[in-house]
Amino acid sequence: MQKMAEAEAIYAELSRELTGEAAAEARMLLADLYFAQNHHDKAATAYASVVEEFPDSPLVANAQLKLGKSLFGIGDYLRAADVLSRLAENEQLSGDAGFWQGASLKS
């Protein structure tokens, strides 16, 4: 648990201090850390910030997918379905996104 707290502090600091793609990567790592710990509310906030603050980053599609899964994890099914619907045209992520969108719409 101590190492997770240390990693969280480091990623949070890096995401504030770095700029551009490096900042997006640090924010994504922070979000992934939250997600891995089932802190879906914090993960959703961090993934949403990647999407909003770094719209040209190649990480945006993965951040959208994980944002949708995080929203599902906190029971915000309508927002999850909406976010995931934006990945319908993404060849790599559309299958996973479609599955979670369907699960969100059924919940």
Q: Give the pLDDT band of residue 37 (cuts 50, 70, 90).
A: very high
Other Cβ atoms less than 10 A from the Cβ of 22: the count is: 12
Mean pLDDT, residues 34-58 = 96
pLDDT one-digit tens code per residue, 3-14: 888 888 888 888
Identify the residue whose tokens are 């899964």. 69
Q: What is the token pair recorded at 84?
A: 């995931």
Calculate the average pLDDT of the chain.
Answer: 94
pLDDT greater than 80 at residue 44: yes
Terminal CA-to-CA distance of the chain, rounded, Å?
A: 32
Q: What is the model's pLDDT at position 43?
A: 97
Please give the model's pTM, rounded to 2 decimal places: 0.92
